[in-house]
């Protein structure tokens, strides 16, 4: 949730002409991470939870890609994109640890 909030705040400074382009894509990807974690947690089985965690990981990779692209297009200064990318990396580590824990729990 913190990463999604960071991305929303960062993208608020994008040019108006990017509202339906980069801003929308980046926000959608970032908000998809916690949404898929929540949806997976609400499912009935560990396998389904793992599937949604995989989708969240994909959305996280998409978020990181859009952050890098925003920096290259000079929509974000390097220090602001680095801070968000560092936050995304931490989320990735947490997702990996959670997936590992769930796999152990189900004996896979």
Number of domains in the chain: 1
Range of the domain at 8: 2-106
**In the predicted model, what is the mean pLDDT of the chain?**
95
Average pLDDT rounded to a whole number, residues 12-37: 95
Classified as helix, coil or strand, 15 is coil
Return the pLDDT at 108: 55
Q: For residue range 56-98, what is the model confidence (pLDDT) as tens digits?
A: 999 999 999 999 999 999 999 999 999 999 999 999 999 999 9
Task: Provide the percentage of residues in the chain whose pLDDT is more than 90.
Answer: 93
The rounded distance, in Å, linking the Cα atoms of 105 and 27 is 33
Check which CATH number belongs to the domain holding 40 and give it.
1.20.1440.60
- The predicted model gives 45-61 an average pLDDT of 97
Is the overall model pTM greater than 0.85, yes or no?
yes
Q: How does 70-84 read in b/e, with b if 16+ C-beta sit within 10 Å?
A: bbeeebbeeebbeeb
């Amino acid at each position: 949730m913190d990463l999604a909030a960071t991305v929303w705040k960062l993208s608020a400074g994008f040019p108006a002409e990017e509202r339906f382009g980069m801003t929308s894509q980046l926000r959608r990807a970032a908000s998809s991470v916690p949404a898929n974690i929540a949806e997976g947690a609400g499912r009935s089985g560990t396998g389904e939870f793992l599937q949604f965690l995989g989708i969240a990981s994909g959305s996280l990779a998409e978020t990181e890609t859009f952050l890098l692209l925003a920096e290259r297009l000079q929509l974000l200064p390097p220090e602001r994109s680095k801070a968000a990318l560092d936050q995304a990396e931490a989320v990735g580590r947490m997702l990996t640890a959670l997936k590992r824990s769930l796999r152990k729990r189900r004996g896979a």
